[in-house]
Amino acid sequence: MEDLQKIAQVCERAARAGGAELLDWSQRFTVREKGPADLVTEADLAAEKIVRQTIAEVFPSDYFIGEESTASGEVEGILNESKSCVWIVDPLDGTTNYAHRIPHYACSVAAVRAGQVLAGVVYHPVAEECYVAVSGRGARLNGSPLGASSVSKLDSALVAVSLPPQVQRDGDDVQKLLHVLEQAQAIRRTGSAALNMCYVASGRLDAYWATGTSAWDIAAGVLLVTEAGGTVSDLSGDAFDLSRPHPLATGTPALNAELAAILRR
Ligand code: IPD
Ligand code: CA
Ligand code: CA
């Protein structure tokens, strides 16, 4: 297996290159709709191109999954490859924020083998925050070790959520949100799944759950949270699997259990 450190270095180089591209485009992009309420800009495409090039310079024969170049239907067939790394990239997570000039977005790069994340980097170029996780070697923000929150009860927890773009008021997602709203200290919907995972890893958020997310939104974040000592499960509290990419991420197992009891209803 390639040296883990080398993989992590390429992850970081690629995420930083993607982030720089996003900043470069931030005063001149145009927006179009890929689908209903699903935006894309030249920045998404340019960032994915430079991330892909940066990875290919070092690992030309590895698999690549990028939000802007891989059809959703193709992801599952590649995810569990074990012959070489699968690079999973969201070049711009938070496109709606970006399009509205809200400076809360990031470039996310993860290296996965046999379904396990080996290294993950999320770079927030406006804040100049680089979140790096390496399997078995911890998680860092700009070089300083990260630690997830120790909050164990929902009534003391700041919780973020990602919902799909279109929800029904009497649908499952809204009902679950209402239950958590009643019981949590407060709720946030930030517009960036990748940064929500980083914020759980750093203890800024106590918990985060997501429906409607894809593997590229959260692959790096999953390793960041677990390497920071947090817990990642599926929404029922069972083992998380990237092929079902709707995580429940918490600082503590107790908070995970309390939230999973609500979300599995
Ligand atoms: C989206 C954001 C959003 C989440 C969506 C994602 P994009 O990613 O992470 O917070 O709710 O599910 O698709 O489109 O900005 O890359
Ligand atoms: Ca995304
Ligand atoms: Ca994206």
Q: Mind listing the pLDDT tens digit for each residue in 23-74? A: 999 999 999 998 888 888 999 999 999 999 999 999 999 999 999 999 888 8
Q: Mind listing the pLDDT tens digit for each residue in 105-156? A: 999 999 999 999 999 999 999 999 999 999 999 999 999 999 999 999 999 9
What residues does 162 pair with on adjacent strands? 210
* Domain end residue (candidates: 103, 121, 145): 145
Contact yes or no for 233/133 (Cβ under 8 A):
no
Phi, psi of 246 (to 5 degrees): -115, 95
CATH number for the domain including 210?
Answer: 3.40.190.80
Decide: 44 in ligand 1 pocket, CB within 6 A: no
d(CA 240, CA 209): 12
Examine the domain organization and report whether 100 and 185 are in the same domain. no
Q: Report DSSP state, residue 36.
A: T
Examine the domain organization and report whether 98 and 225 are in the same domain. no
Examine the domain organization and report whether 58 and 159 are in the same domain. no
Work out the number of other CB atoms within 10 angstroms of the CB of residue 3.
8
Whole-structure pTM value: 0.97
CATH number for the domain including 108?
Answer: 3.30.540.10
Ligand 1 atom at minimum distance from 196 CA: 10
Residues with CB under 5 A from ligand 2 (ion): 90, 93, 217
Pick the range with the lowest mean pLDDT from 28-32, 193-197, 254-258.
28-32
Range of the domain at 59: 4-145
Residue 58 burial (C-beta neighbours within 10 Å; 0-12, 13-18, 19+): middle
Examine the domain organization and report whether 219 and 167 are in the same domain. yes
Decide: 18 in ligand 1 pocket, CB within 6 A: no
- pLDDT of amino acid 2: 58
Contact yes or no for 166/193 (Cβ under 8 A):
no
Work out how many domains the chain is built from and give that number: 2
* Domain end residue (candidates: 112, 145, 178): 145
Going from the Cα of 95 to the center of ligand 1, the distance in angstroms, rounded, reads 7
Examine the domain organization and report whether 128 and 213 are in the same domain. no
**Per-residue DSSP letters for 94-153?**
-HHHHHTT-S--EEEEEEEETTEEEEEEEEETTTTEEEEEETTS-EEETTEEP-------
Examine the domain organization and report whether 24 and 131 are in the same domain. yes
**Per-residue DSSP letters for 186-200?**
EEE--S-HHHHHHHH
